């Protein structure tokens, strides 16, 4: 069984949010997410459920048309097919555990790549 912690696997990147894989199967994907101030995962709507548990920092999690202001120990769950994205506040880093089921396909992540390339949260 995979085991890790946020401190051991911490990986920030100046250019875009960083992730460290924890576990992946055909049914589930678990990653640690590390966001510098203002970094984000662009809004997209894959055919998978996601649970986002914030460990530290503050930011916004988009769920459809709703923006949840999040901080340490907050959990937001977004159902499959619903627009979602996460953005760190401009003032501090954000760390979160992201669990998706089933893992999104490469094609479903195209809006993420596009949004990162264009630098927009809501493509």
- 71-118 pLDDT, tens digit each: 999 999 999 999 999 999 999 999 999 999 999 999 998 999 999 999
Cα Rg for the chain, rounded, in angstroms?
13
d(CA 55, CA 86): 14
Confidence (pLDDT) at 4: 86
Sheet holding 59-63, edge to edge: 40-44, 84-88, 59-63, 66-70
- What's the rounded Cα separation, in Å, for the pair 71 and 96? 10
pLDDT digits (tens, 9 = 90+) for 45-71: 999 999 999 999 999 999 999 999 999
pTM listed for this prediction: 0.93
Domains (range + CATH), the chain: 16-118 (2.60.120.10)
The strand pairing partners of 117, in sequence order, are none
Which residues are paired to 87 by β-bridges?
40, 60
Confidence of residue 3 (pLDDT cuts 50, 70, 90): confident
Over the stretch 6-39, which tens digit does the pLDDT of each residue have? 888 898 989 899 999 999 999 999 999 999 999 9
Q: What is the largest CA-CA distance in the chain?
A: 38
Give the pLDDT of residue 93.
97
Q: Which pLDDT belongs to residue 1?
A: 58
Instruction: Return all residues near 92 (Cβ < 8 A) that are at least 6 apart.
Output: 37, 57, 58
Closest by alpha carbon to 39, among 108, 110, 78, 93? Answer: 93
Task: Identify the pLDDT of residue 8.
Answer: 85
């Amino acid at each position: 069984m995979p085991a890790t912690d946020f401190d051991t696997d911490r990986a920030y990147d100046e250019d875009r949010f960083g992730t460290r894989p924890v576990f992946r199967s055909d049914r589930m994907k678990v990653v640690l997410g590390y966001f510098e101030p203002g970094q984000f995962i662009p809004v997209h709507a894959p055919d998978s459920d996601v649970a986002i548990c914030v460990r530290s920092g503050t930011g916004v999690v988009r769920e459809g048309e709703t923006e949840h202001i999040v901080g340490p120990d907050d959990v937001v769950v977004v159902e499959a097919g619903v627009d979602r994205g996460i953005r760190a506040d401009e003032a501090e880093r954000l760390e979160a555990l992201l669990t998706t089921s089933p893992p999104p396909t490469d094609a479903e992540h195209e809006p993420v790549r596009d949004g990162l390339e264009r630098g927009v949260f809501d493509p």
